[in-house]
Amino acid sequence: MNKLHLDPRNPAFVQNPYTAYAQARRDGPVLFWEDYGMYAAFDGANVQALLRDRRLGREIPVEQRPAPQPHLAAFDAIETHSMLELEPPRHTRLRGLVLRAFTSRRIGALRPDIEAVSRDLIAGLPQGDFDLIPAYCTQLPVRIIARLLGVPETMAPDLLAWSNAMVAMYQANRDRQIEDAANAAAAEFTAFLRDYIEQRRTDPRDDLITQLIAAEEDGSKLSNDEMIGTCVLLLNAGHEATVHSLGNSVKCLLEHDTPRDMLAPERVNATVEELLRYDPPLHLFTRYAYADIELGAVTLKKGEQIALILGAAGRDPALHTAPDDFDPARPAKPHAAFGGGLHFCVGAPLARLELQTALPMLFDALPQMRLAEEPCYADTFHFHRLERLMVTR
């Protein structure tokens, strides 16, 4: 068995995981990652194929489901109804209903809101040196999610706190304190949403929660618990990924002295795709095997988990020429930053629109912006995010 011993909390790995990924591709590309106790695929071909392989899924096999943990009751109640953790037929039904509300028209209509919030945040940026993550990258997505859901923007600090506490459950440094905080956040968020959904039933508005209430397919509607799970997923997955993508993107553009015209309207879409390939916000996504699967010299047995290393797939030289070079003029190719298959990120169009809008506006407003110190990534694998991004105007 080809084994990999790689501590995801090793400081060198936290700051630059791509060197380790390259070695793992050479040694594997499918290895048993001892620190996680599961196989991991590091090459683009296997990652792309396994994301779409219906013999794998997110839902824990019935015989392997752990006993309920009372201290995580509120958190688990949300996960039970999250389409991210489900497979067909429940996943098919939930995703279909959500997509009836989360339409391309509704997402496209958010462009003026993204522009308005970006302008407001840019106008309030400090003079001199400041951390762009809390000042811009964190605030934009959470305010847009608030507008999308239809909750008051004054709720943004609560939404942010709840999201931060809950997504910490997926980090390599999870402990009991993190679990307790996540459960408390889940309970508070659930109570808020349950009350807010009831308000929208009697006072419908032009917002996503109202649309989720109205969405129906073959006589089936979302239950309250399913709506809560969906709203939490849209906040946690959508907001978290966009925050990290914005931060990683600004860092990359500044470090490479990227020409300004690469953010021009006719080029910004391609630049955003290259940014997502080059330094994506989510590096590891797991699947359960529902049958034995041959992966070259490795047999993934039914019931086993495998980690799909999205961050490594985008740097595979078999798929991308000179993959460690940031090249916004690179010919477009599919990447795995938003996953793939049945669980392709439902919020990907919104994340792309936020990046395509917010990055040019920021660089247009701050043409002399530069790094004030070397950026530092956070010890939060499998999220790949900056601890801070100090810049100067």
Handedness of CA 360, 361, 367, 368 (dihedral sign): negative
Q: What is the arithmetic mean of pLDDT over 256-283?
A: 97
What pLDDT, on the 0 to 100 scale, is given for residue 272? 98
Of 280, 207, 239, nearest in space to 140 by CA: 239
The total number of residues shown for the chain amounts to 393
pLDDT digits (tens, 9 = 90+) for 117-127: 999 999 999 99
Across the chain, mean pLDDT equals 95
What pLDDT, on the 0 to 100 scale, is given for residue 172? 84
What pLDDT, on the 0 to 100 scale, is given for residue 55? 97
Q: What is the arithmetic mean of pLDDT over 236-261?
A: 94
> DSSP 3-state helix, strand, coil percentages of the chain (rounded to 5)?
55, 10, 35
Q: Check pLDDT > 70 for residue 1.
A: no
The tokens for 312 are: 């490594």
Q: What is the arithmetic mean of pLDDT over 98-108?
A: 89
What pLDDT, on the 0 to 100 scale, is given for residue 193? 95
Scanning the chain, the segments in alpha helix (DSSP H) are 11-15, 18-27, 44-52, 73-79, 90-101, 104-108, 111-123, 132, 139-149, 156-167, 176-202, 208-214, 224-233, 240-255, 268-278, 310-313, 348-365
Alpha carbon 245 to its chain centroid, in Å, reads 9
Query: Between the CA of residue 14 and those of 6, 179, 241, 274, 286, what are the distances in Å?
Result: 11, 22, 17, 21, 19
Specify the 3-state DSSP secondary structure of 318.
Answer: coil
Q: What is the arithmetic mean of pLDDT over 75-91?
A: 94
Query: Between the CA of residue 183 and those of 77, 95, 248, 276, what are the distances in Å?
Result: 10, 25, 29, 31
Indicate the DSSP class of residue 69: -
Q: Which residue has the tokens 């009991």?
A: 176
pLDDT band at 236 (very low <50, low <70, confident <90, very high): confident
At residue 189, what are phi and psi to the nearest 5 degrees? -65, -40
The tokens for 45 are: 């071909």
pLDDT band at 253 (very low <50, low <70, confident <90, very high): very high
What pLDDT, on the 0 to 100 scale, is given for residue 76? 95
What pLDDT, on the 0 to 100 scale, is given for residue 265? 97
The tokens for 222 are: 């979302």
pLDDT digits (tens, 9 = 90+) for 299-341: 999 999 999 999 999 999 999 999 999 999 999 889 999 999 9
Q: Check pLDDT > 80 for residue 77.
A: yes
CATH code for the domain of 235: 1.10.630.10
Q: What percent of the chain has pLDDT over 90?
A: 89
pLDDT digits (tens, 9 = 90+) for 6-36: 999 999 999 999 999 999 999 999 999 999 9
Taking the C-alpha atoms of residue 274 and residue 166, their distance in angstroms, rounded to an integer, is 29
Please give the residue range of the domain that contains residue 272: 3-392
Neighbour-count burial of 226, counting CB atoms closer than 10 A to its CB (0-12 exposed, 13-18 middle, 19+ buried)? buried
Taking the C-alpha atoms of residue 178 and residue 180, their distance in angstroms, rounded to an integer, is 6
pLDDT band at 288 (very low <50, low <70, confident <90, very high): very high
What pLDDT, on the 0 to 100 scale, is given for residue 386? 98
Taking the C-alpha atoms of residue 348 and residue 303, their distance in angstroms, rounded to an integer, is 29
Q: Check pLDDT > 90 for residue 2.
A: no
The tokens for 271 are: 């630049």
- What long-range pairs does 57-60 form, CB within 8 A, spacing at least 24? 57/87, 57/287, 57/288, 57/290, 57/342, 58/84, 58/85, 58/86, 58/87, 58/286, 58/287, 58/288, 58/343, 59/85, 59/86, 59/87, 59/91, 59/288, 60/85, 60/288
Of 258, 281, 255, 276, nearest in space to 332 by CA: 276
What pLDDT, on the 0 to 100 scale, is given for residue 317? 97
Q: What is the arithmetic mean of pLDDT over 156-170?
A: 94
pLDDT band at 219 (very low <50, low <70, confident <90, very high): confident
Residues 6+ apart with CB under 8 A from 314: 44, 276, 277, 278, 280, 320, 323, 335, 336, 337
Of 16, 10, 20, 42, nearest in space to 386 by CA: 16
Q: Domain tally for the chain?
A: 1
Taking the C-alpha atoms of residue 228 and residue 339, their distance in angstroms, rounded to an integer, is 23
Q: Check pLDDT > 90 for residue 102.
A: no
